[in-house]
Amino acid sequence: MPARRRTKIVATLGPATKDSIVLDALIAAGMDVVRLNFSHGAAQTHIDMAERVRNRAQAFDRQIGVLVDLQGPKIRISRFKQGGVELTENAHFVLDAALANDAGDNHQVGVDYKSLPHDVKRGDTLLLDDGRIVLLVETVIGQQIHCRVSVGGLLTDNKGINRQGGGLSASALTAKDMADIKTAAAMQADYLAVSFPRSAEDIHLARRLLRDAGGHGGIIAKIERAEALDDIDAILEASEGIMVARGDLGVEMGDAALPPIQKQLISKARRMNRLTITATQMMESMIENPIPTRAEVFDVANAVLDGTDAVMLSGETAVGHYPVKVIEAMDRICLQAEQQREIRVSRHRIDSKFERIDEAIAMAAMYTANHLDVKAIAAMTESGSSPLWMSRISSGIPIFALTPHVATARKVTLYRGVYPVSFVVEHTDHVALNKEAIEELQRRGVVKDGDIVIITKGDLEVQGSTNTIKIVKVGELVELPSQGNASE
């Protein structure tokens, strides 16, 4: 049986993937979650795309998660009369919040973020176009920020602005974002990614708005501001997971600081039982080329070795020429990296006390699996909590989340090493349930006679009730009569 990839692949949809044949090919190639980028496109277009993805996934007997990515505040320059200008080193250049949107020239340009003059001061460094242009602030006069060009080059319309070290006061959730959250709720998005959060309060607000609109998806905090690192524990506590968004974060923190920050964020998230998505320029050369660079291969593999739950593609699948090839390449790289022994063993929480019975069962299952020749784990689950806890333990053993709930099945598509299985419980007999669970794994070609399987379960339709772990040998399934139902 071929190896089963544990690290999940998130693919951004766009013009390159609007064709149904391409979408089918992405699913067949191994795409686990789609990202709908709300910086582009109309609300109804996104709703229709989410429905198409789910319908096509069903045709493949798969579940594909849907992640809605909010645009966040637009901290950008405005436009130039001629579409762009060439800035030379040491030249004087003005960012003018009062200038008309399309009046930029060689000496000045407007800014969409009107509070920028209040957020900066003499001596600050402003980084435009992902750091390609560097401006040093010399003085602020009214709505004008007078700068000296430190690093010049071609500056074109609508490029982003970052302040080195962070500190811009723009709210994480704009009026557009608040409207888009209602769209995310309408499509029952599985995850909502919040752009540029500064603190846990931004995450709490997004959750309240999503719940008020009828949405039940998890919240992913995109870590792309320096300030977010100062409140990272609280942000992790408030969210279901984080996205290591290396573009803006790298601009604000400096590119050399990114590798250790990525490792620390992934490690901390795993310790706190939260998800991680590693994003930005992972395979960017494949927008134009059919094979990745060696540096990109190493980048993806290192994220896998760091323990990320998912790796994300942006322009590579949204607008690139080879959207299917890039999924196939990422799949190969992840599979190879996952063979390394150091990421198949774990001491995670080995010395911890557990506050909940279901959490203790999940940890016991993984400890047992890693010390016994177990081929698979079947976790009967209502909410997906037990598979999440299990997935925090490094292991090469597949975890199958057997659930009757479509929402739970879609949610676990982002969990490292967890695979959703539709499993409807129609009775309460433990022997029959165990037999059906094993038969489902056999049907999928996961186990055969003589293989050892761990089953976890609890009381029917009660979230957080997992209280049983059973070790069975396929073909020798025997269980004494017991009380209770079976599900988490």
- Which residue among 222, 225, 246, 411 is the active-site one? 222
- Which residue among 8, 35, 163, 375 is the active-site one? 35
How many whole angstroms separate alpha carbon 474 and alpha carbon 389?
Answer: 25
Compute CA distances 191 → 26, 34, 215, 441, whole Å.
20, 10, 10, 28
How many whole angstroms separate alpha carbon 191 and alpha carbon 488?
Answer: 22
How many whole angstroms separate alpha carbon 129 and alpha carbon 60?
Answer: 41
Compute CA distances 145 → 2, 85, 115, 142, whole Å.
59, 18, 11, 8
How many whole angstroms separate alpha carbon 376 and alpha carbon 452?
Answer: 7
CB of 344 within 8 A of CB of 396?
yes
Q: Residues 6 or more apart from 462 whose CB is under 8 A from it?
A: 382, 487, 488
- Which residue among 7, 280, 317, 403 is the active-site one? 280
Q: What are phi and psi of 76, to 5 degrees?
A: -140, 160
Q: Which two tokens stand for residue 343?
A: 């990421």
DSSP of 207-260: HHHHHHTT--PEEEEEE-SHHHHHTHHHHHHHSSEEEEEHHHHHHHH-GGGHHH
76 is catalytic: yes
Q: Residues 6 or more apart from 227 whose CB is under 8 A from it?
A: 166, 167, 198, 199
Q: Which amino acid is at 459?
A: D
Q: Residue for token digits 């203790």?
A: 360
Q: Which two tokens stand for residue 293?
A: 């660079």
How many whole angstroms separate alpha carbon 283 and alpha carbon 294?
Answer: 10
Compute CA distances 334 → 242, 296, 331, whole Å.
20, 12, 5
8 is catalytic: no
How many whole angstroms separate alpha carbon 419 and alpha carbon 410?
Answer: 10
35 is catalytic: yes
In this structure, what DSSP letter does residue 342 have?
A: G
How many whole angstroms separate alpha carbon 245 and alpha carbon 221?
Answer: 10
How many whole angstroms separate alpha carbon 479 and alpha carbon 125?
Answer: 68
Cα-Cα end-to-end distance for the chain: 29
- Which residue among 76, 163, 270, 375 is the active-site one? 76
132 is catalytic: no
Catalytic site residues?
Answer: 35, 76, 222, 280
